[in-house]
Structure 1
Amino acid sequence: MEKQAAQRAAEQLLAEHKAATRFHTMDGLAAIADAYDVQDRYVALLRAAHGESIGYKVGLTSQTMQTFCGIDHPIAGVVLATRVHRSGARIRRADFGRLGLEFEIAVRVKSDVPASAASYTAATIAPHVESVCAAIELVDDRAADYGSLDVRSLVSDNSWNGGIVLSDFITAWPDLEAVPGRASRDGAPIGEGHGRDILGHPFNSVAWLAAHLAARGEALKAGQVVMTGSVMKTVFPTEDAAYRFDLEGIGTVEVQLAG
């Protein structure tokens, strides 16, 4: 995409977030590559308030989420430093156009992932993973209409990442394909899933991201965090509540929502 057009689109997104404008289809995005061009510039604008990139989110990695959004492939976004929260964080719903919660497995990268490799698999990406944890992604869909959702507009808007909440990372973990995760609201169950719901294995999500970044001349770096995708459908809180995600054998992450 022409640089000036991408910059204008990024500035438009920043203004729309400040004005609490409802999510809508953006003009001028002829291809998914155009959307990532806009995302790059939008994230650059966000850095002034939210710090440097600490990693990435991968979205739409489960059949449930792809069906929900009507999009048949994963997408990526960037996570910024001030948007990283520890378990138990208190989050204001009013700070989002519309807050959604996604329940995930996060990984921390141990070593740089060479961008020259033709492709990665769960097995070949595994040596680059240092640790894993239970995580909740804070997404801001700005009250999007899921009946007419445009993936290019979604990607441009940093794939809706508004932050992440992390438990403690662990360096020894159970079989991630089989591990169950259960979400609850004020102690009442609201959904569950397994590691295999994330592209068959959470490391497949990391492998997809590595290939995506390589295609854009970038690469995963040691120390970065990757949100691998939700094991269940997004939850949209409408009132104050405590949400918890228990990832068996890995840990528990909690977030307290306020108005």
Structure 2
Amino acid sequence: MLPPDVIASLAEELAAADRERRLVPRITARHPEATVEDSYAIQGVWRDAQLAAGRRLVGHKIGLTSRAMQQATGITEPDYGVMFDDTVFDSGAQIPHDAYTNVRIEVELAFVLAQPLAGPHCTLVDVLRATEYVVPALEVLNSHIELEGRTIVDTISDNAAYGGMVLGGTPKRVDDVDLRWVSAVLYRNESIEETGVAAGVLGHPALGVAWLANKLAQHGTVLDAGEVVLAGSFTRPMWVSRGDSVVCDYGSLGVVSCRFV
């Protein structure tokens, strides 16, 4: 692994990039020997510093679970990041565009857990049993590392490019809807930009949550009751600019919207 001082330095560099709204060179360009475990170590140091500063963890995001996202990024395995309470918005929110870098939107389902989930043998059935409800969600991507040539090591180090989450629509118990066939139509300024079906996430979006529980087990962590888990996008990321209005229609699960100001 990278030396601890290098990991700590990279974590602080990414924290500074977030504060200053700027990009940094790819970690893999400077440290080609860096591994996926190094990237989670960098993310972990950054996370612990945020917690020490008073932020509160509310859940995890999973990324790169769909073929659409893997093709869009050129990365072929999932990843995860953490979500803090000050990154959660209600539908209809006005979101400051300048608070983020490389701002894009993804279409997802959020799982709200009623029971803890632990790996390393978590299954789809375990996830469904532990879930209180699912709800439509948009993820705001926030990338501080230059995009060209980026690898999964760069993405994970940068908290899996997570910036924020917009929750809305109609919550549903998992017994009341076939999650594979939840569909969504994503609009930017009243024009359709993306469409997708939740089965695009590993065949069933709950499998993304199971993957996360099993991956966290490798790091000695579990998903706690009450956590919100973004299961992964089933559309490609959509770029947004200041002034854009975003609406996502999930059919029977309702609508999520936001505006970037």
- Relative to 1, partners in 2 of residues 1:205 and 1:12: Cα closer, same or farther, differing over 3 Å? same
Match among 230, 236, 245 for residue 233 of structure 2? 230
Question: In the alignment, what sits opposite 1:153?
Answer: 154
Distance, in Å, in 1 between the alignment partners of 2:183 and 2:17 is 38
Look up the match of 1:210: 213
- Contact 1:98–1:141 (CA<8 Å) still a contact in 2? yes
1:22 offset after TM fit, Å?
A: 1.8
Aligned partners of 2:218 and 2:17: how far apart in 1? 29
Match of 1:180 in 2: 183
Where structure 1 has 5 or more consecutive residues not aligned to the other structure, the ranges are none
| Equivalent residue for 1:133, pick from 132, 135, 139 | 135
1:66-96 CA distances to partner (integer Å, 9 max, x unpaired)?
0111110101000001101111111111111
Q: Does 1:53 align with 2:57?
A: yes
Q: Which AA in structure 1 matches 2:123?
A: T
- What is the TM-score normalised by the length of structure 2? 0.91
Which amino acid in structure 2 is aligned with residue 209 of structure 1?
A: L
> Is the 2:184–2:248 Cα contact (8 Å) retained in structure 1?
yes
3-state DSSP of counterpart to 2:117: coil
For structure 2, which runs of at least 5 residues remain unmatched after alignment?
none
1:69-80 correspondence runs (5 A)? 69-80=73-84
Q: Which of 192, 197, 201 is equivalent to 1:198?
A: 201
Q: Is the 8 A contact 1:98 1:143 kept in 2?
A: no
In structure 1, C-alpha distance between the alignment counterparts of 2:52 and 2:218, rounded to whole Å:
27
- SS of residue paired to 1:230: coil
Runs of 4+ in structure 1 deviating by more than 3 angstroms, as ranges, are 1-4, 47-50
Distance 1:144 1:189 in 2: 28
What is the distance in 1 between the residues matched to 2:60 and 2:118? 17
Give % identity. 28
1:171-227 Cα distance to aligned partner (Å, 9 max, x none): 354111112111112332111100101111100000000001001000011000001
Tell me, what secondary structure is at the counterpart of 1:177?
Answer: helix
- The 3-state SS of whatever aligns with 1:16 is helix
1:100 is matched by which residue type in structure 2? R
Structure 1-normalised TM-score?
0.92
Residue 70 of structure 2 is matched in structure 1 by: 66
**Number of residues paired by the alignment?**
255
Secondary structure in structure 1 of the residue aligned to 2:179: coil
Deviation, structure 1 residue 23: 4.1
1:4 paired with 2:5, answer: yes
